[in-house]
Every structure is written in C-alpha cells, then in structure tokens.
Amino acid sequence: MVFSSSIFVFLFLPLVLLFYFLVPKKFKNYVLLIFSIIFYIFGGPKYLVLLLCVVLIDYIGAILIEKTNKRKLFLFITIFLNIGILVYFKYTGFFLNNINSLFNLDINVPKIVLPIGISFYTFQAMSYVIDVYRKKVSLQKNFFTLLLYVSLFPQLVAGPIVRYETIEKELKSRSTSFDDVCYGIERFVLGLAKKIIIANQMGRLADTIFASNNLTSPIAFLGGLAYMFQIYFDFSAYSDMAIGMGRIFGFRFLENFNFPYVSKSITEFWRRWHISLSTWFRDYVYIPLGGNRKGVKRQIINMFIVWTLTGFWHGAEWNFILWGVYYFLFLVLEKYVLKKYLDKMPNVASHIYTLIIVYIGWIIFRCDNLNDLILYLKSLFSFNITSISLNELSVYIESYWLYFILAFLFQTPLYYKIIDKIDKMKNSKLKSCLNVIHYLGLIFIFIVTIMYLAYSSYNPFIYFRF
C-alpha cells in the first residue's frame, strides 16, 4: 500500500484517524501499532515476521547492553545480526553474481524478494541500540512501544529515518492541537499533490526516454531533467506526507529535505538532501571511524567508506556504488581544492555548477548498468541535434510544459515564503482573506490530485526499491 493510492487516502487513513481520536489516550499507541502492522501486511504478510524479528533482536540487545557488563560484545552482536539480515535479503544476489562472474563459477543464486522498507527500519532500529549503548536514550522496556517506534506506518517503508531520541518522549505522552492537525493535513495534501501531479508525470516521461534505444542530445537532456525532478518530488513527497501524518498523531518528525536544488555546492546539497540518511552515516559511521580528528588522509579514507556505503545502501548494483564514489570525489575536491573558488564565485555560477554535478549524478543513479550509462552519456554529450529530434522535443514539451513549470516552482521555497509572509501580516482583515484563499487553494489542489489519481494507473514509488 502506498500513500498515493485510493485505498490509503479514502479507506486506511480515515479509519486510522477515526479510531485514533475516538479511543482514550492510553490506547492510542495500540491503535497506531495495529494499523501499522496492517499497513505492512499489505506489502507482504510473510515479511511481517522479519520485521518482528529485527525489533526483537534490538529489544533484547538493548536490554543486555543496559543490564550486563559486556556492553561492547552485545552491541557488536546486535549490529552484526541487523546488518546480517539486511545483507542477506538485499545483497546476496549481488555478491553471488559477482563471484560467479569473477571466478567463472556457477553458484546457484537464490531469488530473494527484497522486503519493503528493510533498509529504513534496520537503520532505525540500529540507531536505537547504539544510542542506548551511548546512554543518549533510556532503555525501552515495553516491547510493543519499541515495535511502534520501528513500525510506525507514516515512516515505515521509505523514511525519514527517525531517531528514537527524536520521538522518545512522544511515544510516552503526546498531544495534538488544532494547529497540528491543520499543519499535518496541509503537508499531506501538498505531498500527495507533488507525488501525483509532478513526480508521476515526470516519471512517465523519464521512463519513456530512458527506455529509448536511439537518443539525441536534446531528448537525452530532457530525460535526465525529468528524472531529476521525478526522484526529488517522489521522495520529498513521501517525506512530506509522513511528516504531515506524524504531526496529526502528535509526532514531530525532523525534516528530510530542505530544497536541495537551490544549493550552491555539493556539500550544501548533501546537507539538504535525504537529511536523515546523511546524518545517520555521519553519526554512526563517519564519527566513530574518527571523522576529521585523525588527519587529512584518515579523513579522506573515512569519507570514502561513508560514501561507498551510502551508494551501496541504495541498492545492490554497481551503479549505486559508482554514484556514491562520484559524490565522494566531488566532496573531497570541494573540501580541499574548490571551496575557496566556490566562495568567490557568483551565486548563479556556483548554483549552475552544483546542478550540473547533481544532474549527471542522477543519470548514474538511474542507469542500471555501465553499458546503459555509457550509451546515455554518449547521447547526452554527442550534441547530435536533428530536425526530427527537435520535433520530438517539441512534442514532449507541448505535453509536459505545465509539469515542468510546477516542478521549477515547487523545488524552491517560494510557496512557504508566501505563507510565512501571510502569517506575519499585521492587517488582520487582509490576513484572514488570504488565509481563506490559501485553504480554498488547498482544497482545489486536493480535488485535482484525486482526479489525477482516479484516471491514472502509473503510480510508482522510487524509494520502495531501497
């Protein structure tokens, strides 16, 4: 079940809200837990056992870390089991296929279905255990509360990766105000619209172009741009909906995206893109490895490890590893060579530089194998422009121009700046009038989104793969 499906919007979510706000406060966690389990069952009932096993491992592991004097041993065992489960389900095929190719062997490669959300919930569960070890959070003695933390349906299958410390107090006691509900509904509606109206249309165009065997430069460029918008609006939309629903239930999840395409360096881009993942690797891998505390060479090695793992986290394919190393190279270059030049460059120039690097990075990310990547980059940089390709380009633009305009507008903080200015207005009558227009606009956006949802069967979520 995805957030952008009719069954979720019109059946599952209303039922959750109905039961959640009807039951007494002491039962609210159990309502969320039951519906979270039901939500996960829709994605694959047999993998519910795996989710329960992961939570049980971390529940017992945290108790042993807290109650015994062999803290490091039990921390190691718990992390080893978590990573072992993730590696088995996500990377077994990758490793065996590469061993077969490298040594000319014929080892049988089992067909293992990737459980939905495993990359997210294993990282989330591990962060709890590590923070118990570090004494940053208290031991959770109630198994069902810990299970709720890991399985909470708004962020279960595609993040953000919520730290236990972020919602530790809210798991025990929380409240929801009218303003929280209004904010949560707005975030959910905007996220749903970004997904259905922008991401899906960009995805349809990107899939068409990337599947073509005979690309010219203009069409290849358009395909890369469409995918660049698709992946941002697809993933940030999911985070918007998760944050919105979390707020309605009284949880304050941290932001996962902060308009990354306005960045003026790759370093800034990664402070704004998938924030929960980059900070997870920073706090649980980079800093424990020594961070920048052990000299330049060691720091570069640590960065290489983190960015290789970041790429590999996204998928069991070489293109993801290449994508991680690609960003490692530019981050190192910026840190030790380019920073002084970027600081002196006009904002427009540094912004263009960043977008070019990110744009090529998404092509690496999108192409499944090295041959496809080379062919696509050759098409992109061949500067092969024909009258036929220009005609094809005009057809695509005629069909998708509105979605590109919406994408350009909503990848900036313009909308939120306007809303913020309205909130700070001193003229109460004008403010009230504009607020009415704002909420009528949200209703209109929701209606248009539902119309798109009703008439389109194309509705993938990219990050469900990871």
Report, as residue numbers or ranges, the catalytic residues: 314
Which structure tokens are listed for 262?
């306005």
Is residue 215 exposed (0-12), middle (13-18) or buried (19+ Cβ within 10 Å)?
A: buried
Token pair, residue 268, equals 């800034």
Helix orientation angle between 13-22 and 28-43, rounded to the nearest 10 degrees: 160
- In this structure, what token pair is assigned to residue 162? 């919520």
- Is 283:222 a contact under the CB 8 Å cutoff? no
Cβ-Cβ contacts under 8 Å for 289 (sequence gap 6 or more):
302, 305, 306
Amino acid identity for residue 244 in this structure:
G
> Cβ neighbours of residue 338 under 8 Å, at least 6 residues apart?
none
**How would you classify residue 159: left for phi > 0, otherwise alpha for psi between -120 and 50, otherwise beta?**
left
Q: Is the dihedral of CA 164, 166, 169, 171 positive or negative?
A: negative
The CA R_g of the chain, rounded to the nearest whole Å, is 23
Angle (CA) 460-209-267 rounded to 5° is 70
Q: d(Cα 448, Cα 192) in Å, to the nearest integer?
A: 11
Residue 408 burial (CB count, 10 A): 12
Sign of CA dihedral 363, 367, 373, 377: negative
Compute the distance between CA of residue 126 and CA of residue 164 in angstroms, rounded to an integer: 10
Contact 260/269 with Cβ under 8 angstroms?
yes
Burial of 441 (0-12, 13-18, 19+ CB in 10 A): exposed
Helices 387-410 & 414-423 angle (0-180, nearest 10): 30
